[in-house]
């Protein structure tokens, strides 16, 4: 097979991309061409994937879709409450190679394989968009099925909204090979990377190309089939990311605004080596927080004097903030935090107490959400005050971070100090971490140790990133210190773990690394 780098690049230059849709390229250069080494590595990876595909299915793939992981710089656990977040994509991504299999008379099926077949064995599913994702069996290929379902669900929604010209293609048999290099269970959105790349591959294989915002929304919705009530941050950044900038992402509807990062600082990602599997621990960690926030919003709604039936329909703290400011415009300047102080008690609530306040069984209020019912079955108490305080303070830090970063762009002249901008950003990151750790209680021993080691070794700011309960930290480090900083983490955090056999010395490059903002999802069709 010819080198993929050398393939004709006419599509990206001749405007083969319609405005706002997932870009279609005929060369790796637009995504991986920043330096020769990266381009050569990407070329080898795509060649290897194409070869594996050929060996597995006896024919080459027709196209590839890649979608990256992300690191969230600030704004943790607030996307599902309707608030803006500020992530950037990382270069590690998942690639899905696909072809439509010619009809051989048998029932259409999806053959899904992975280049790492030992860890991720091949699976066959029916080509049936209405199939359920088997939540009881946490198979890696379930993420593909999420993306698969998402494409048809989106088409059905379009039709239901009255778009008459929407043609729903007949589900074809697909051959699929996946190559993912986003570390799993690390808080870097390996799940969004595979869901987005899968949905993209299914979409493109059926001759469709949705807008980036539609893709971000549909991928967010369909990943919920896995069982986590996640917000839309991971899918939005994976689809919409742009090289060189972080994005401020707003929701309902999803929108992205570039946030240029100041010169002189680099973000370094370090893995605590504690795996955090969002889907498997959802009932006690992630979904538990979603339910706590909903309960906090409901209690605040009651205090606001809303009738009970309206209170039961409240889902997020974002909704309650809107109601608070409408009911008491004076609150506008102070935000919703005074209401939390006034109306929620700092101690955790037990279910019976909340049921008495709300005048209804919690199971009845949440009966339409099986994943919430699983939370209620496992939960002993609900820390409403702490969770609401985190959400309402964290959303302010996101805007403060954006505004601080903007200072570096707009300022010129003697009064401007880029070092002060970095210090201020670092301070916001540290405050975010404290809030995640103390109020949202989504940190863990290893993350606390790692954040401490990062700060001791010169990080201007350091925090857990992603859902937490394990996974990675992100630290802001002065450019000139990056290499020394990484070496000191190897010495102070990883050395003892290498000795204990938790990680191999040779694998350290993939657990602690500097990252520049990378680009988002892309479709590659190579001409041979």
Among 43, 52, 234, 292, binds ligand GLA (CB under 6 A): 234
Binders of ligand GLA among residues 64 to 83 (CB under 6 A) are 72, 76-77, 79-80
Q: Please choose, out of 17-25, 30-38, 228-236, 493-501, the segment that lies near ligand GLA by the rule CB under 6 A.
A: 228-236
The answer to whether the beta carbons of residues 488 and 469 sit under 8 Å apart is no
Q: How many CB atoms lie within 10 A of CB 332?
A: 10
Nearer to ligand GLA, 82 or 519 (CB): 82
Asked if residue 89 lies in contact with residue 238, where contact means CB atoms within 8 angstroms, the answer is: yes
**Would residue 175 show up in a list of annotated catalytic residues for this protein?**
no
Residue ranges in 462-501 that form contacts with ligand GLA under rule CB under 6 A: 466-467
Give the one residue of 203, 233, 237, 273 binding ligand GLA; rule: CB under 6 A: 233
Binding to ligand GLA (CB under 6 A) within 178-207 occurs at 189
Quick one: 176 or 239, whose CB is closer to ligand GLA? Answer: 239
List of E strands, 321-449: 349-350, 381-382
CB of residue 228 to ligand GLA, shortest distance in Å: 7
Tell me the closest approach of the beta carbon of residue 289 to ligand GLA, in angstroms. Answer: 9
Q: Which residue in this structure is represented by tokens 């060649």?
A: 47
Subset of residues 331 to 370 that bind ligand GLA, contact rule: CB under 6 A? none
DSSP 411: -
Complex with ligand GLA: residue 26 or 435, whichever CB lies closer: 435
- Are residues 436 and 463 in contact, defined by beta-carbon separation less than 8 angstroms? yes
Minimum CB–partner distance for residue 291 and ligand GLA (Å):
14
| CB-nearer residue toward ligand GLA: 395 or 490 | 395
From candidates 230, 404, 435, 437, binder to ligand GLA by CB under 6 A: 230
Residue 132: both structure tokens together: 């359920």
Q: Angle of helix 351-358 relative to helix 286-303, nearest 10 degrees?
A: 40
Closest by CA position to 188, among listed 69, 86, 68: 69
CB of 290 to ligand GLA, least distance (A): 9
Quick one: which segment of 3-11, 24-32, 98-106, 227-235 binds ligand GLA (CB under 6 A)? 227-235
Question: 55, 31 in Cβ contact below 8 A?
Answer: no
CB-based burial, 345-361: b 16+ in 10 Å, e otherwise: eeebbebeebbebbebe
CA 250 from chain center: how many Å? 14
Of 82, 200, 231, 471, the one binding ligand GLA by CB under 6 A: 231
Collapsed DSSP state (helix, strand, coil) of residue 350? strand
Q: Which stretch binds ligand GLA (CB under 6 A): 231-239, 268-276, 332-340, 471-479?
A: 231-239
Q: How many residues bind ligand GLA (CB under 6 A)?
A: 12
Question: In this complex, which beta carbon is closest to ligand GLA, that of residue 466 or of residue 517?
Answer: 466
Cis status, amide bond into 194, omega within 30 of 0: no
The active-site residue, picked from 43, 175, 179, 234, is 234
Count of alpha carbons within 13 angstroms of residue 79, beta-carbon side: 28
DSSP readout, 110-140?
EEEEESSTTTS--EEEES-TTPPP-TTS--T
Q: How far apart are CA 172 and CA 128, in angstroms?
A: 9
Residue 435 or residue 457: which is nearer to ligand GLA going by CB?
Answer: 435
- Name the residues that contact ligand GLA, by CB under 6 A: 72, 76-77, 79-80, 189, 230-231, 233-234, 466-467
Catalytic residue numbers, as ranges: 234
């Amino acid at each position: 097979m010819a080198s993929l780098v050398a393939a004709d690049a006419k599509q990206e230059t001749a405007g083969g991309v319609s405005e706002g849709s997932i870009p279609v390229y005929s060369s790796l250069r637009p995504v991986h061409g920043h330096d020769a080494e990266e381009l050569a590595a990407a070329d080898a990876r795509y060649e290897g994937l194409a070869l594996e595909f050929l060996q597995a299915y006896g024919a080459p793939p027709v196209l590839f879709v890649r979608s990256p992981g992300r690191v969230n710089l600030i704004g943790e656990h607030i996307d599902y409450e309707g608030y803006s977040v500020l992530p950037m994509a990382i270069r590690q991504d998942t690639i899905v190679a696909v072809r439509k299999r010619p009809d051989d008379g048998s029932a259409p099926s999806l053959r899904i394989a992975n280049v790492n077949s030992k860890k991720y064995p091949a699976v066959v599913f029916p080509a049936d968009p209405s199939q359920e994702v088997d939540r009881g069996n946490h198979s890696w290929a379930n993420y593909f099925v999420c993306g698969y379902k998402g494409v048809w669900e989106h088409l059905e929604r379009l039709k239901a909204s009255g778009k008459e010209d929407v043609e729903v293609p007949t589900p074809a048999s697909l051959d699929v090979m996946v190559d993912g290099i986003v570390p799993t269970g690390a808080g870097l959105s390996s799940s969004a990377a595979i869901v987005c790349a899968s949905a993209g591959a299914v979409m493109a294989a059926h001759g469709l190309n949705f807008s980036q915002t539609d893709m971000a929304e549909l991928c967010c919705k369909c990943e919920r089939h896995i069982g986590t009530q996640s917000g839309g941050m991971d899918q939005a950044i994976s689809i919409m990311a742009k090289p060189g900038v972080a994005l401020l992402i707003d929701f309902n509807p999803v929108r992205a605004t570039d946030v240029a990062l100041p010169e002189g600082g680099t973000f370094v990602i370090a893995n605590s080596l504690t795996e955090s599997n969002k889907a498997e621990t959802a009932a006690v960690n992630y979904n538990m927080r979603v339910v706590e926030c909903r309960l906090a919003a409901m209690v605040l709604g009651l205090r606001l004097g809303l009738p009970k039936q309206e209170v039961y329909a409240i889902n997020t703290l974002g909704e309650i903030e809107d109601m608070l400011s409408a009911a008491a415009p004076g609150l506008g300047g102070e935000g919703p935090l005074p209401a939390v102080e006034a109306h929620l008690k700092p101690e955790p609530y037990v279910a019976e107490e909340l049921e008495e306040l709300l005048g209804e069984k919690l199971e009845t209020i949440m009966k339409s959400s099986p994943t919430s019912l699983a939370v209620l079955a496992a939960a002993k108490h609900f820390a409403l005050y702490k969770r609401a305080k985190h959400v309402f303070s964290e959303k302010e830090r996101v805007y403060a971070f954006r505004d601080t970063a903007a200072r570096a762009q707009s300022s010129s002249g003697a009064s401007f100090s880029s070092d002060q901008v970095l210090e201020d950003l670092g301070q916001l990151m540290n405050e975010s971490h404290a809030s995640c750790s103390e109020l949202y209680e989504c940190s863990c021993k290893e993350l606390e140790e790692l954040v401490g080691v990062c700060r001791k070794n010169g990080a201007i700011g350091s925090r857990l990133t992603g859902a937490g309960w394990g996974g990675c930290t992100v630290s802001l480090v002065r450019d000139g210190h990056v290499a020394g900083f990484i070496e000191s983490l190897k010495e102070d955090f990883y050395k003892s773990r290498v000795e204990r056999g938790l990680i191999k010395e040779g694998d350290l490059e993939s657990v602690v690394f500097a990252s520049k903002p990378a680009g988002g999802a892309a479709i590659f069709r190579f001409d041979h």
